[in-house]
Amino acid sequence: MLKSLALAAFALVLAAPAMAQPNTSASVTATLTIPTILHIGVSSSAVAFTGNYAAYESGYASGSATTTVGHRGNVRHSVSLASTAATFTATNPTPTSTTDPARTNKPASDLTYQVGSGAWTGVSTTAATVVSGASRGSHTGPTVGYRVALAYAQDTPGTYTLGLTYTIAAD
Amino acid sequence: MLRSATLAAALVGALLAGPAAAQFSVTPVLLPFEGGATAATVTVRNEADRALSFRFYTGDFEQDEAGQHDYFELGTHRASCADRLAVVPDGATLAPGERRELTVTMAPGAATCWSGVFVETREWDAAGVSVGQRVMVKAYGVVDGAVGDASVVAVEATASGDTVTVGVTVDNHGTRPLRPQGVVEVRALDGSTVSSHAVEPFSLLPGHRRRLSLEVPAPATPGRYLAVPILDIGTDDLIGGQAGFRVPAPGADEGG
C-alpha cells in the first residue's frame, strides 16, 4: 500500500507540468527489479603450521593466521565450514624414509577450529555452521582460529595438505 | 634486535590477517525454475584486488529444522536435480572487478527437485592448509501443478527480562519450495497489537520442517499477552498460530 501511494505521488509530480500544456502529457513507469545477492570474503587463503618441538610437546601447532569471515547479502543467510576431505593428503619428504613414511591417515579432525572464543572443534566434511541466520546487511566476522594436533608416535615427517571451505548460502 | 624481529613478525602476521584475501559476489542466489523456464543467468564478480580462479559446479544440499545446510555430491538425496541441472562454463579466472555470467540450465522433470550451483575460489594447487570460499545458488526445478501448502504447527513464547523468545515451527506439506515471511505480533488479550516484528524470508523445502527462534522486546507493562506469528507463504492464504506468555511484575517470579 505504501509503495502504491509513493508511486501515485511520483506520477502526480510528473503530470503537473502537463496540466499547463494539455497536449504534451506523457507517463513514465519506473521499474526496478532487485535480485538476491550474496558476498563472501575471507582474510586468509592459507594457514601455515610449524611442527616444531614446542608444538609436539603441547600436542598441537597453532595456525599462522586466523580467518575473519566477511559476509553480506540482501537476504538472510548462513555460513558454514567444512574440510574438502576426511583425511590430510600426505607427501613424503625427500629423501623418503622407508621406515617412517608420511602418515597417510591423518584425520581432518586433527585440524581444529575456534569461532571467536568458543570451543575448539575438529573439522570434517560435514558442514558446521559458523554464522547462523544472519540478517540481510553487511557483517564482519566471526574470526576463526586454527590448530593442528601433533603426536610424536603418529605424525611422521612430511607435507600435509587439506582444504577448508567456507560456504555462504541464502536461508 | 630480538624485539625488532618479533615486532616485524607480528606486523607481517597482522598484514596477512588484515584485508580480505579473496572476496566475490554472486547474484541471484535463489533460482526457481518454473512456468516453463529452463535457463537462467548467474553473475559472479571478483571483488578482490587480485585475480581469482573460480570453479563452477553443481551439487546437492539439504537444510535441517534449524536452518543448517548440509552439502553432498550431486545425486545424493531423493529430490536431487541430478541429470537436470547444469552450469557453464565450469571455471574462470577473473581480474579484479571483472564479472562473468554463468548459464544455468534446468531440464524438465517429473517431480520438483532442488540442488545447488556452487561458485568456489581457492588457491587450487596450494600445499598445506588452504582456505577456500564458495557461494551456493539454490536451484529449484518446480513442476507445473506443484502445490504450496504449509502450516504453523507449534508456537511457544517465553518472557525473560526484556525479551520474549518466540519459537515457531512450520511444516511444508506441499510439493513447492516455499519462502515464508511475515511478522510476529505481540497482542494484548483484548486483541490490540502491542508490537509487530518482521520475520525475514526463509527457505522451507517440500516435506521439511523449520523451527525459528525469534527474540522480540517484551511489553513494558506486566500482564498476559499473545505472540502471534502470521506468515505469507506465497499462496492466497496466510498461516499463523499463537501462544500466550506472561510478563511478570518487577520482583515477581517469571512464568509462562
Instruction: Quote ipTM for the complex.
Output: 0.87
Whether residues B61 and B126 share a domain: the answer is yes
pLDDT at A82: 97
pLDDT at A79: 97
Q: What SS3 string covers chain B?
A: CHHHHHHHHHHHHHHHHCCCCEEEEEECCEEEECCCCCEEEEEEEECCCCCEEEEEEEEEEEECCCCCEEEECCCCCCCCCCCCEEEECCEEEECCCCEEEEEEEECCCCCCEEEEEEEEECCCCCCCEEEEEEEEEEEEECCCCCCCCEEEEEEEEEEECCEEEEEEEEEECCCCCECCEEEEEEEECCCCEEEEEEECCCCECCCCEEEEEEEEECCCCCEEEEEEEEEECCCCCEEECCEEEEECCCCCCCCC
Q: For the domain that residue B212 is a member of, what is the CATH number?
A: 2.60.40.2360
Domain of residue B181 covers: 150-247
In sequence order, what are the beta bridge partners of A140?
A70
Q: What is the arithmetic mean of pLDDT over A11-19?
A: 39
From the list B104, B112, B102, B88, the residue with the least C-alpha distance to B34 is B112
With 70 as the cut, is the pLDDT of residue B1 above it?
no
Total Cβ atoms within 10 A of residue B35: 7
Indicate if B157 and B129 belong to the same structural domain.
no
Cell of B73: 555430491
Asked whether residue B161 falls in the same domain as residue B137, the answer is: no
Q: pLDDT tens, B32-75?
A: 999 888 999 999 999 999 999 999 999 999 999 999 999 999 99
Is the pLDDT at B13 greater than 90? The verdict is no
Q: Which residues of B touch A163 (CB under 8 A)?
A: 122, 129-132
- Asked if the model's pLDDT at residue B227 lies above 50, the reply is yes
The last residue of a domain, from among B88, B120, B141: B141
**CATH number of the domain that residue B77 is part of:** 2.60.40.10
State the Cα–Cα distance between residues B171 and B206, nearest whole angstrom.
Answer: 9
Top pLDDT among B154 and B5 is at: B154
Mark which of B112, B141, B170 sits at the end of a domain. B141
Q: State chain A's maximal CA–CA distance in angstroms.
A: 97
The cell numbers describing B24, all together, are 566475490
In sign, the C-alpha dihedral spanning B30, B36, B38, B40 is negative
Same domain (yes/no): B155, B137: no
B232 found inside a domain: yes
Q: Are residues B166 and B229 in the same domain?
A: yes
Any domain includes B7: no
- Judge whether B221 lies within some domain: yes
At B82-106, the pLDDT tens digits run 999 999 999 999 999 999 999 999 9
Residue B163 has pLDDT above 50, yes or no: yes
Q: How far is A23 from chain B (nearest CA, A)?
A: 42
Are B62 and B30 contained in the same domain?
yes
Q: Which of B87, B107, B141 is the last residue of a domain?
A: B141
Average pLDDT over residues A50-76: 95
**Does residue B11 form part of some domain?**
no
Q: What is residue A10's three-state secondary structure?
A: helix
Same domain, B84 and B111: yes
| A19 dihedral zone (left: phi>0; alpha: psi -120 to 50; beta) | alpha
What was the pLDDT predicted at B67? Answer: 94
Q: What percent of chain A has pLDDT over 90?
A: 70
- In tens, the pLDDT along A122-167 reads 999 999 999 999 999 999 989 999 999 999 999 999 999 999 999 9
Inter-chain touch B131–A129, beta carbons under 8 Å:
no
Residue A12 has pLDDT above 50, yes or no: no
Cell of A107: 584425520
Higher model confidence: residue A98 or residue B81? B81
Same domain, B25 and B87: yes
Q: Looking at the structure, do residues B119 and B194 belong to the same domain, yes or no?
A: no
Structural domain contains residue B4: no
- What are chain A's domains? 1-32 (no CATH), 38-170 (2.60.40)
pLDDT range class, residue A4, cuts 50, 70, 90: very low
pLDDT averaged over every residue in chain B: 90
Instruction: Name the pLDDT band for B228 (thresholds 50, 70, 90).
Output: very high
Q: Are residues B25 and B137 in the same domain?
A: yes
Do B67 and B161 have their domain in common? no
For chain B, give the percent of residues with pLDDT over 90: 84
Please give the average per-residue pLDDT across A3-28, as a whole number.
49
pLDDT in tens, B102-142: 999 999 999 999 999 999 999 998 888 999 999 999 999 99
Taking the Cβ of residue A64 and every Cβ of chain B, the question of whether any pair is shorter than 8 Å is answered with yes
Domain assignment present for residue B35? The answer is: yes
What lies within 8 Å, CB to CB, of B104 at 6+ separation is B31, B39, B40, B41, B42, B85, B86, B87, B117, B137, B139
CA neighbor of A123 nearest in space, from B129, B128, B120: B129
* Nearest residue to B65 via CA among B210, B168, B213, B166: B210
Distance CA B92, CA B55 (A): 7
- Provide, rounded to the nearest whole percent, the portion of chain A with pLDDT above 70: 87
Start-end of H helices in A83-159: none
CA B12 to each of CA B5, B7, B130, B187: distance values in angstroms, whole numbers, following the listed order: 11, 9, 18, 56
Mutate to test the interface with A, among B55, B129, B179, B199 (most CBs of A within 10 A): B129
Chain A's closest residue to B68, CA to CA, is: A129
User: From the DSSP assignment, how many helices (H) and strands (E) are in chain A?
Assistant: 2, 11
Q: Cα–Cα distances in Å, from B64 out to A131, A170, B36, B80, B212?
A: 15, 14, 29, 16, 11
The pLDDT value given to residue B20 = 58
Do B155 and B119 have their domain in common? no
Is A140 near chain B, with CB under 8 Å? Answer: no
- Nearby residues of B112 by Cβ (< 8 Å), 6 or more positions away: B79, B140, B141, B142, B143, B146, B175, B176, B177, B206
State whether B28 and A35 contact (CB < 8 Å): yes
Structural domain count, chain B: 2
Q: Count interface pairs A-B at CB distance under 8 A.
A: 170
Cα–Cα distance between B240 and B150 in angstroms, integer? 10
Residue B14 domain-assigned? no
Min Cα–Cα distance to chain A from B136, Å:
5
Q: Classify residue B8: in a domain, yes or no.
A: no
